[in-house]
Amino acid sequence: MRLIFLAPPGSGKGTQGARLMKEYNILQLSTGDILRENKKRGTKLGKEARYYMDAGELVPDEIITAMLKEEIIKPEYQTGFILDGFPRTKFQAKALEEILEEMNLKLDAAIILEVPKQELISRLSARRTCRKCGKTYHLIFNPPQEPDTCDAPCFGHLFQRADDTKETILNRLKVYERNTSPLIEYFEETGIAIHINGLGSVDEVYDRIKHSLAAINTHVEVKK
């Protein structure tokens, strides 16, 4: 199964992707996570990306596409993957198509998670992320058991991402509208777009995704 998410920041693509990963036994490839890791380690890529990330802007297409290509050809992605955060521009969508063509592969579905803007702002402003395992919490609707601490067995420290502040959130949503939302039409034309209502509990949204995926003709069986 090869999936992409076309979904604004805060729509739950990371959370839903993590569940799909278990269900289909495939890996999630998050360009945001890879960049954050590089930023933390202070690599050349991390230094290049830092300015864009902190401002809520997109890292230039050439940089991110080269990074994605290097990653996706690794053996662990050959049985399938869930792309979280890529593609975000038409350039990237075309590049992905070419990369997959070279590998003789095709995408099975583009999951479009639909969540109203106000809800996205609320979710992102109250989001806290575990520094150790990456799990996310919502301070009001899904708080950790202990303040600032990830639940057992991780117990990592929770922090607010540098780009989860009010001003940067608004910019990220604007960037999504401008650069990424036009891709919805692009993937509708290729016939693989699946529209999912992203409101409701994590379980409810996940069930919608699972049912939609079961309805498409794929070669991978859903684990019972």
Is 128 catalytic? The answer is: no
Choice among 2, 13, 123, 208 that is catalytic: 13
Instruction: Please report whether residue 38 would count as binding ligand AMP according to CB under 6 A.
Output: no
Is 172 catalytic? The answer is: yes
Choose the stretch contacting ligand AMP; rule: CB under 6 A; options: 49-57, 132-140, 146-154, 210-218.
Answer: 49-57
The CA–CA distances, whole Å, from 160 to 17, 73, 124, 138, 220 equal 21, 32, 9, 11, 37
- The binder of ligand AMP chosen from 85, 108, 129, 183 (CB under 6 A): 85
- The binder of ligand AMP chosen from 9, 80, 144, 198 (CB under 6 A): 9
10: left (phi over 0), alpha (psi -120 to 50) or beta: left
CB closer to ligand AMP, 19 vs 91: 91
Name which of 105, 86, 99, 104 is nearest 2 in CA terms. 105
What are the residues binding ligand AMP (CB under 6 A)? 9, 31-32, 35, 52-53, 56-59, 64, 85-86, 88, 92, 163, 172
